[in-house]
Every structure is written in structure tokens, then in C-alpha cells.
Amino acid sequence: MQKEIELAIAPERIEDENYILIQGSKALKINGERIKGFKIRKRSIDARSRHVVFRARIIFFIDEEPINEVFETHFKSVHNAQPVLIIGAGPAGLFAALQCLEKGLKPIIVERGKAVQDRRRDLAKLNREGIVDEDSNYCFGEGGAGTYSDGKLYTRSDKRGDVEKVLKLFVAHGANEDILVNARPHIGTNKLPHIIQDIRETIIAHGGEVIFEQRVVDINTENNQVTGVTLASGKQLKSNHVIVATGHSARDIFELFRNKNWLLEAKAFALGVRIEHPQEIIDQAQYHCEVRSEHLPPAYYSLVEQVNGRGVFSFCMCPGGVIAPCSTADNEIVVNGWSPSKRNNPHANSGTVIQINLEDVPGSESDPFALLDFQREIEKRAFEAGGGKMVAPAQRMIDFVEGRISKDLPENSYKPGTVSADLTQVLPKFVYEALRGALPIFGKKMKGYYTNEAILVAVESRTSSPVRIPRDKLSLQHPEIKGLYPCAEGAGYAGGIISAAIDGMNCANAIH
């Protein structure tokens, strides 16, 4: 017999198996000898009171031995199977490829950037010298934007597909089993590259192919049917099925669609700044303590507020994290954040953004590039305010709200460097006014948040794609081009690693 119950467990006891068995027997009102084992199904931190606890959903095995779950993959040898071309080796492309293996289709991934380990040198150069490789950066390369931007796996995408399957595939390729249990699963930038490499090796071992450092410059069609793609080298790859999984920053793909007069749409996205605090401020506020317990992870937060009818919200919060330069060209500033698996850096950062709607940008209803052009203009303003070499404009929080240029800036994690600037000269008026209204309110919601020890770094602008590539809801194909499958973040149908992976799998299923 199995019984599932919820227990509140002190942080210092969460790894104590005997303690959990004793608490289970008490809660179930049975002799402890009858419990043969247990399995934690889900756990999360409850910090609503001054006594922080873990809330754990636990299955207890009564009068029967625990069952060890075995996750089996069903990949087929596809060396001579029907090919499916996948543009992009981010989570959507990689998981589309894994699903192709299950369905007996041969995935051929074409990635403009480098293999995951080779990306490191280009990222180091970007951080150290402010030099952007337009094909190898935080956005482009094997693993996509999420690989070196944290590996957060939190999602609300349960209705879109099999979240647990995605998590188990990560575990099968080397991720810690904790991601199956934790309410906010997280792999970490230091661990994810090895997992991505193992996924690639699985694809190749079963007959799939992965081609690096080749841009797709054309998607070939005949009578509105896809026939393959042309690479920058001039080589042509043939297939009647092409999945476009290029991510939210592959602007050249949008240009390709525009040049072919294929249907595109402008899409709302969010824009703002990345805000960084000393991690100890967040810990003190969230855990109601002076010093965080060694048994608790660095604290997380999620904030949202309406200001003048606009939602201002935290996004991609990184405890113990780093602010990273995520530009894809050398005349723009784009920032994002990431954390290592231990989340042990001294700062906490989060995007704090405002939704940019079609009505905010004139011409958006008729011009699918209107919001992208708006995004690009703000990124160029940030670059000019920073003065070059990926130096980012920044301001202390209270100085920003009260309209003062900061005399100096606090120590922060953004490696290319920050320069004191007036962020109202970078951000649109309706954005900075909404931020100015929200930040003091956030300070009332979370003690210590509203402080000049916090720094605002501009600009956080690649939250999602400002362009959508339309597709049919059932077939997932572009409404004008048969065999063309717009996929995940770059097409406007996902937002994060898990939802992108699920969308990739769904596109492979649609092809099958």
C-alpha cells in the first residue's frame, strides 16, 4: 500500500531519512516498522512565517518494498530513415531531435554557432574584451540561450505537453535527480554544457546528425512545399520537413521570411532592466533572518505590480547569480542573468520588465518588424550610453527613482563593466515611469528591496521574440508553406527551456 501525505520539515532535517520515516509514521498513525521506505515527489520552501520549512509531498510505502522507477528511452536507429531538418540546436531543436529518434525519423540539426564547449572561449572574450562574435555568444551556439544563462527549468507548461518526460530526459543525460522533485528545478550554467553534449552524442549515436558553424541562408520551396535548406557554404540539404527553432534573437531568419513575403506578425514582448542586490539582502527579507541557514539555498523572489494600468514584474530571477552580456551584435547592449548550480555568488539579480504591446509602437498592426525595430533602437541607445565595449549604463535604484545620476555604482557582477548614466535617456518614457512607480512598492512588499545598494543595469530586452511566425494550430505548419514548422521562442510559441523543449517535441510529433 502507498500513501501520499504532505509534511513540513525543518531545513536541517530535509536530508534526514530516519527523521522523515518517524514523522511519516506519526502522521499516518501506524507502526514505523510497517513503512518500508519513502519517495519525495515534490518539495518547496515555505517562508511565509518566521520559521522557514520545506513543504514536501512524500509517498510512503506501507507493508511493501519501494518501487525504483526506471525511465526508459525508446530511441530507434535512424541512419537510413526519412530526414527532418532542424534549424537551431537550442532546447527546442535538441528535444525535437530526440523525439524524432523515438518516432523513427532522422534529425539533422543545423546550428549557426559552435559546439557547447567551444562557445566558452567566445563568451570569455565577450566578458573580458567586449567583443561579440555574432554567431557564437550567449544566445547562439549549441544549447541555445539557456545553456550559459542558467538552466532554470521552472515552467507552467503542463498543458502543452509532458514536462516530466523533458525533466527525465535531462536526468538520463546527467542532470541531478533533484530536478524531478524541486518546485523550482535548476541545473546550473556550470553543469548544463555537459548535459547538452551528452544529448548531442545520443542523437549522433542513433543516426542523427549535428552540423555546427553553418548559417541557414535560405529555406527552399517548390509550389509552397518545403524541399530543404541552403547553408552559407552553398551546400543544400534536402527534406520535406523543416523545423525552425532559431530562438528569439535570430533576426536574420525573420529577414529571410520578409524577403520571401511569407507571413509574419508583430508580437508583444517585455522590456526593462536587470536589477542586482547583494544576495544577503534578499536572504534577510525572504527568510526573516540576519544570516541565512546553511541548510537553505540562496533566496528567490517574484514580484509584480500594476502601475498606471501596466504590469511591472520580475523575470528570470537568479539567486547567487551573475549579470551577463547577451548582445548578438557589437552595437547593442542586452543583459540577462544566470546562476551556477550552487548559486553561490554574492549577488542576486532579476529582470524587471514591462510588457510592450502593439499599441505602444505605431505601425505594429501592419508592420511585423515594428516591435523588433523598437527593441533594436533601445538596445542601441544602451550601447551609446555605455560608451562601447559592452559597458552597460547603470544607476543605483533610489537615484533612478528620484531622478539623480549616481555619483558612483556599487560593486556588481557584470564583467564588461558598468558606467553611471541617466537611464531615462535609454528607456522609453512609459517604461521608466512604470519602473519608478513599482520599485518603491516592491520595497514595501519585501523589506530591504528598495535600496541604493541595488543597481539597475540596462537593457533587459530579449525576454521573448518581438515577432511571431504564424502556424496552424493543429498541423503546426506555417499557413502558407507546407512542411515548415515554426517552433518555440523564436516563433513566439514558448518561453523558457521546458516550454521550448516541449514545443520541439510537439513539432516532431506533428511531422510523424
In this prediction, residues 130-149 reach a mean pLDDT of: 89
* Partners of 304 in the β-ladder: 313
Give the integer Cα–Cα distance in Å for 254 and 489. 13
Looking at residues 419-444, what average pLDDT do you find?
98
Confirm if 331 and 380 have CB atoms less than 8 A apart: yes
- Asked whether the predicted pLDDT for residue 47 surpasses 60, the reply is yes
- For residue 376, pLDDT beyond 70: yes
Strand order in the sheet with 310-318: 304-307, 310-318, 347-356, 269-278, 455-460, 392-396, 418-420
Residue 471's SS3 state is coil
CA distances from 155 to 179, 301, 494 (A): 12, 15, 10
Packing angle of the helix pair 91-103, 497-511 (nearest 10 deg): 40
**pLDDT for residue 166:** 93
Q: How far apart, in Å, are the Cα atoms of 168 and each of 198, 311, 349?
A: 14, 35, 28
pLDDT per residue as tens digits for the range 437-447? 999 999 999 99
What CATH number belongs to 2-62? 3.30.70.2700
Residue 160 has a pLDDT of 65
Quick one: average pLDDT of 346-372?
95
Helix (H) / strand (E) containing 21? helix 17-28
3-state secondary structure of 337: strand
pLDDT tens-digit series, residues 247-261: 999 999 999 999 999
Task: Name the band, by pLDDT with cuts 50, 70 and 90, for residue 155.
Answer: low
CB atoms near residue 342 (< 10 Å): 12
What is residue 496's predicted lDDT score, i.e. its pLDDT? 86
The cell for 296 is: 537553505
> Residue 301 in contact with residue 385, Cβ under 8 Å?
no
β partners of residue 56: 7, 43
Do residues 399 and 405 touch, judged by C-beta distance below 8 A?
yes
Segments making up each domain of the chain, as ranges: 2-62, 83-264+469-511, 266-460
pLDDT at res. 158 = 58
pLDDT at 288 over 70: yes
**CATH superfamily entry for domain 83-264+469-511:** FAD/NAD(P)-binding domain (3.50.50.60)
- The enclosing H or E element of 57 equals strand 53-62
Residue 184: band (very low, low, confident or very high) from pLDDT cuts 50, 70, 90: confident
Cell of 196: 547538452
Average pLDDT, the chain: 94
DSSP 428-449: -HHHHHHHHHHHHHHHHHSTT-
Mean pLDDT of 372-388: 97
Per-residue pLDDT for 116 more than 60?
Answer: yes
- Which tops the pLDDT comparison, 294 or 156? 294
Question: What is this structure's pTM?
Answer: 0.94
What digits encode the pLDDT tens for the residues 303-345? 999 998 899 999 999 999 999 999 999 999 999 998 888 888 9
Closest by CA position to 322, among listed 272, 274, 288, 283: 274
